Chains A and B, each alone.
Chain A
């Protein structure tokens, strides 16, 4: 990549000359690639960057139309401090954590058992069920939120945080089951047979062989369940009304926008902190995160 083209007299070594131009061509392509990448990185990172800048500004600086909106002149943490010390931001955060932890746990238990059964223990209707699981994954939440609104109301769970724990698994379980069927199916059959001969029963096989061997898949599924429940917006918006029951995604806008007053500094600070958990998971477990994203395109 150093691009140090060997200078050869053109007539004596035409082959080397050609190799040199090949290298030059490749180099030009690479430069083009970096330019394209830089443009998109700027485009992709502009909103979070602007979010960060605004969150560090005082209300006065935000309101000052003469200043440059892209940079902060007197950075302050007052927005963060205000969110964490007063108002219900912390409640929302705790609610989000609670809902997400419960949903992830429920999802993983349901889908691990289901995936193990569907991947390894053929039974009547198991193929149809696997297909059904995939189709369920394709059902968007906007299709069924109105009947669910009625059902939740009927169960007396309207404006109740735990309704989220009940509903979110419909969005997480199908996909997690689906990708785990794939991971479990990729475990060689001889491994079960070896375990069978070694004397393992089905639960020992699942617990001592399948789960440890498919750990990357389980991690990918867990991350997926986490991101989906952390990001869910429609259900809490439709089913939660009082601030103490709200989760972050709806809490920020409902609390920080009072009529026509937008507390942009605090909104941006709150949004940034709300985006932090998924970003951290992503930063530390990027490979599993991506594996989970791309795994859906193959059948188990």
Chain B
């Protein structure tokens, strides 16, 4: 078990393309950290540098306090689970799981003990004699994890391990991975492009974009307090709405002037925070779940306005409606019992306790 430290690591490919531009990250012992971001954001490259599959252009990586920049993968004491599982097709499940130990010349009975133990954790004891070809996607995934567990490494590395599974299995394996981590408590770095996976699995989520870290924090923090427009838009589904808005000084309180003559009062407790931005063109960020039908909750800071949905999507447990405010598509989440029809005006409530104001030039959340 060990902590992993990334200090100002840079990856530059031939031709000067920088995939990772100075990433700093401290991962604690036993921690489950998820790197998340759109494709090409540098998350996989970062993981592969930790694994030693990619060389570091600059910076330092330390595993358990030892700088491993120049140490080949096999001596870094890590295990990795790949997106396509990378099981050796000619070996049985048992041989696949034991291969790393065999190469390291472990005694036969020690290998057997460890493989059987891992198989028990993953509930694949009855598959040990099969070839990977005879396994289902979920079973292959388990074997790939088993191969990692057997090695008992300092760090587990997962590279989008669930993206080849169908939706149902993905949810199931997600739980499985979390369970395994709770059992073996190995420090884990997990890469995914799926923010739901990131939120559900992580102790801390690292959101990356264009080769830099946008924000690091526990899932709830990222959801409630995104620090950049990118994180605000990336975390949460459906994604946060961004509406152009102008911050104005109203009588006594601040006021947000939206297009279509909609004006929303800013909650008084935020007045001080936002005052420097009065008169600026900003973006109002509000999640669909905070833009609903009018409910009798008695909560403070609820404002209402009228809108006519253009598209109505009943989802069962909720209904999504979409409408446009001056070119910005807005999504709201309604109770399915609320009648909503395309084209018919209705009153919507905005929970302004949950609003975010974003400076469109810097992309920072104010």
Residues of A in contact with B (beta carbons under 8 Å apart): 188, 190-191, 193-200, 204, 208-209, 212-213, 215
**Complex interface bits, B144-164 against A, C-beta within 8 A gives 1, otherwise 0:** 000100010000000000000
What chain A residues lie within 8 Å of B82 (beta carbons)?
190, 193-194
User: How many B residues face the partner with a CB closer than 8 A?
Assistant: 23
Given A193-B53, A194-B87; 10 other pairs, CB 8 A cutoff: A190-B82, A193-B51, A194-B82, A196-B53, A197-B51, A197-B73, A197-B100, A199-B104, A209-B88, A213-B90
Q: Report the separation of the CA atoms of residues A200 and B72 in the bound assembly, to the nearest whole angstrom.
A: 11
B89 contacts A by Cβ under 8 Å: yes
What chain A residues lie within 8 Å of B74 (beta carbons)?
196-200
Q: Of residues 47 to 103 in B, which have CB atoms within 8 Å of A's CB atoms?
A: 51-53, 72-74, 78-80, 82-84, 86-90, 99-100, 103
Q: Which residue from chain A places its CB closest to the CB of B51 in the assembled complex?
A: A197
What chain B residues lie within 8 Å of A191 (beta carbons)?
86, 88
What chain B residues lie within 8 Å of A200 (beta carbons)?
74, 103
Q: Which residue from chain B places its CB closest to the CB of A191 in the assembled complex?
A: B86
What chain B residues lie within 8 Å of A196 (beta carbons)?
52-53, 72-74
Q: Closest CB-CB distance, A219 to chain B, in whole Å? A: 14
Q: Do A194 and B84 touch across chains, with their CB atoms under 8 A apart?
A: no
Q: Do A198 and B53 touch across chains, with their CB atoms under 8 A apart?
A: no
What chain A residues lie within 8 Å of B100 (beta carbons)?
197-199
Q: Do A213 and B80 touch across chains, with their CB atoms under 8 A apart?
A: no
Q: Do A197 and B89 touch across chains, with their CB atoms under 8 A apart?
A: no
Question: 13 A-B Cβ contacts within 8 A?
Answer: A194-B80, A194-B87, A194-B88, A195-B88, A196-B72, A197-B80, A197-B100, A198-B74, A198-B99, A198-B100, A198-B147, A208-B99, A213-B88
Q: Do B103 and A199 touch across chains, with their CB atoms under 8 A apart?
A: yes
Q: Report the separation of the CA atoms of residues A231 and B283 in the bound assembly, to the nearest whole angstrom.
A: 78
Q: Of residues 125 to 169 in B, which have CB atoms within 8 Å of A's CB atoms?
A: 147, 151
Q: Do A190 and B104 touch across chains, with their CB atoms under 8 A apart?
A: no
What chain A residues lie within 8 Å of B151 (beta carbons)?
198
Q: Closest CB-CB distance, B265 to chain A, in whole Å? A: 55
Q: Closest CB-CB distance, A216 to chain B, in whole Å? A: 11
Q: Do A212 and B90 touch across chains, with their CB atoms under 8 A apart?
A: yes
What chain A residues lie within 8 Å of B80 (beta carbons)?
193-194, 197
**Complex interface bits, B21-63 against A, C-beta within 8 A gives 1, otherwise 0:** 0000000000000000000000000000001110000000000
What chain B residues lie within 8 Å of A212 (beta carbons)?
88, 90
**Complex interface bits, B2-22 against A, C-beta within 8 A gives 1, otherwise 0:** 000000000000000000000
Q: Report the separation of the CA atoms of residues A194 and B84 in the bound assembly, to the nearest whole angstrom.
A: 11
Q: Report the separation of the CA atoms of residues A99 and B182 in the bound assembly, to the nearest whole angstrom.
A: 63
Q: Do B79 and A197 touch across chains, with their CB atoms under 8 A apart?
A: yes
Among B52, B74, B147, B151, residue most surrounded by chain A Cβ atoms (within 10 Å): B74
Q: Do B86 and A188 touch across chains, with their CB atoms under 8 A apart?
A: yes
What chain A residues lie within 8 Å of B87 (beta carbons)?
194
Q: Closest CB-CB distance, B222 to chain A, in whole Å? A: 30
Q: Which residue from chain B places its CB closest to the CB of A201 in the assembled complex?
A: B74
Q: Closest CB-CB distance, A269 to chain B, in whole Å? A: 43
What chain A residues lie within 8 Å of B79 (beta carbons)?
197
Q: Closest CB-CB distance, B93 to chain A, in whole Å? A: 14
Q: Do A190 and B83 touch across chains, with their CB atoms under 8 A apart?
A: yes
Q: Report the separation of the CA atoms of residues A215 and B89 in the bound assembly, to the nearest whole angstrom.
A: 11
Q: Which residue from chain B places its CB closest to the CB of A215 in the assembled complex?
A: B90
Q: Which residue from chain A places its CB closest to the CB of B82 in the assembled complex?
A: A190
